[in-house]
Amino acid sequence: MDPKNIEAANPKSAPLQKQYPEGQWPTGLYDRCDDPSNCITLSSCPCVTFGQIAEIIDGGDRSCGISGLVYYAMGNIHCEWLYAGLYRTKLRQLFSLPEAPYGDRFVHCCCCPCSLSQEYRELKNRGPIPP
């Protein structure tokens, strides 16, 4: 059955996953408050959000906890932006996204919570993270 017919037959069913075009970030770098629960998590413990992002990008090869701990440890020597920048690059390559508005490591160095929030929303919007 055609997905449009399913939605028309049952209007109370959950809407189909919105498709986002390749080569575009669907949310802005500074739209951090668009997801209030993630905004709170990022404010209190960004290593959790980073761990979730890394686990999905790595395809489950490394757990959320391990990635989060590495991010936390690198944060203690003020180098978490290097590690997180690598994952932003992987995410961009995965979805053919532009390195915009700035370079991956530069974005993480200057505003890591904004960058992590954008990456989390990107994965959530494209499907791998449950809403």
- For the segment 75-129, what is each residue's pLDDT rounded down to a tens digit? 999 999 999 999 999 999 988 888 877 899 999 999 889 999 999 998 888 876 6
pLDDT at 30 (0 to 100) = 85
Q: Is the pLDDT of residue 3 over 90?
A: no
Q: Phi, psi at residue 97, to the nearest 5°?
A: -95, 150
Task: Specify the DSSP class assigned to residue 11.
Answer: T
* CB neighbour list of residue 44: distance below 8 Å, 6 or more residues apart: none
What are the residue ranges spanned by the domains of the chain?
27-126
Q: Where are the beta strands (DSSP E) in 1-131?
A: none
- Measure CA of the first residue to CA of the last residue in the chain; give whole Å: 25
The sign of the torsion formed by the CA atoms of 48, 92, 34, 127 equals negative
If one compares 11 and 79, the residue with the highest pLDDT of the two is 79
Residue 71: pLDDT band by 50, 70, 90 thresholds?
very high
- Kindly list the distances between the CA atom of residue 33 and the CA atoms of 9, 38, 130, in Å, as whole numbers in the listed order: 35, 8, 18
Residue where the block lists tokens 């989390």: 120
C-alpha 24/C-alpha 122 separation (Å) is 10
